[in-house]
Amino acid sequence: MLRYWLCFASAVYLAGQCGANYCRDANLCCPGRDSSCVVQKAHQNAIIEDLTDKPCYCDHACLKLGDCCPDFRETCGVTDCVVSGWGEWSECDTTCGSGSMVRSRRVVQAAAHGGHHCPSLVQRRACQAHHGCTADSDMLLRDESAMILPGALSVSRHSNETVDIRKNLRLRNPDDPESNSHREYCVQYEVTKVSKACHTDSDYKALREGNTVCVMCETAALRRDLKWRCGGHGVAGHSTRFYALVAPHCHGKWVRSADNPDKKSDCCTDPDFIFV
């Protein structure tokens, strides 16, 4: 409203403009915000009854305020930025683990005289790459999830082969796994997160946040494709996931506490859990 009264207040200064209807007629094109850059369509003392008789402006601010004269863009050379379509996404910037991909576009026509500015010319998105990972890569180890069973089943396999639940699973090493008993090892973890379902199952009562548990990798769980280790044994100092095989709602996260597997630890004689 203030801008509309400026023409009345500056009648002498704008005497030559107040009878004009367009920026071209008034010979006006003003940069930035300039409330004096106005075209008064009706007489300065007239009562405005028709909205088309209201003042219009020829400064760049009129584009945002919506009160430009009809010919402002054409007369004052206003052009909006125009960009090309997006190009192809680049390759993931890593060969193993989390990375990012980039795509870009170019400016076809630059903005001028108050036109719309150019939008972003670059986009990024996350990606995962595994083609450069080795079988024992830290990134792959962190992505693995450990499947576990209660440690009590470790004894049952030696006393009665038929009660081992793993007999119903795919045998890891069909070439006489008993010959690989020297490869067995134990890993200790600090539990950092655990679901409520673990608390209601007595077999998994050791899984409490802050507790340290021992998990044994027995012969039957050793995997040739993982260079004779158990799946999901993790990376020292990094959080990995675990799942209870016979209690599917029992799961959580833990952190491996040592760099190297322990083959002589006391926990190997009485592990809390065993890998599947």
Residues 88 and 159 in one domain: no
Token pair for residue 110? 């630059």
pLDDT at res. 169: 53
Whether 55 has a pLDDT exceeding 70, the answer reads: yes
Residues 109 and 72 in one domain: no
pLDDT digits (tens, 9 = 90+) for 110-129: 988 778 889 999 999 998 77
pLDDT at res. 183: 84
Confidence at 39, pLDDT banded by 50, 70, 90? confident
Residues 142 and 171 in one domain: yes
Residues 156 and 237 in one domain: yes
Structurally, the chain folds into a number of domains equal to 3
Q: What share of the chain is helix, strand, coil (3-state, %, to 5)?
A: 25, 25, 50
What percentage of residues in the chain have a pLDDT greater than 90? 28
Residues 64 and 17 in one domain: yes
Higher per-residue pLDDT: 159 or 149: 149
Domain that holds residue 243: 138-275
Higher per-residue pLDDT: 258 or 37: 37
230 touches 184 (CB < 8 A): no
Whether 161 has a pLDDT exceeding 60, the answer reads: no
Confidence at 49, pLDDT banded by 50, 70, 90? low
Residues 106 and 54 in one domain: no
Residues 172 and 269 in one domain: yes
Token pair for residue 232? 């999901």
CA distances from 72 to 29, 139, 234 (A): 8, 59, 66
Average pLDDT over residues 184-213: 92
Residues 107 and 183 in one domain: no
Residues 262 and 237 in one domain: yes
Q: What is the pTM of this model?
A: 0.49
Residue 237 zone, left/alpha/beta (φ > 0; ψ -120 to 50; rest): left
Confidence at 170, pLDDT banded by 50, 70, 90? very low
Q: Which of residues 76, 101, 117 is at a domain's end? A: 76
What CATH number does the domain containing 112 carry?
A: 2.20.100.10
**Which 3 state secondary structure label does DSSP give 162?**
helix
Please give the Cα distance from 16 to 12 (Å, whole number): 8
Which range, of 51-55, 74-78, 169-173, 258-262, averages the lowest pLDDT? 169-173
Q: Which of residues 67, 96, 129 is at a domain's end? A: 129
Residues 163 and 143 in one domain: yes
Confidence at 51, pLDDT banded by 50, 70, 90? low
Residues 122 and 208 in one domain: no
Average pLDDT, the chain: 79
Residues 112 and 47 in one domain: no
Average pLDDT over residues 59-70: 86
215 touches 275 (CB < 8 A): yes
Q: Which of residues 36, 52, 76 is at a domain's end? A: 76
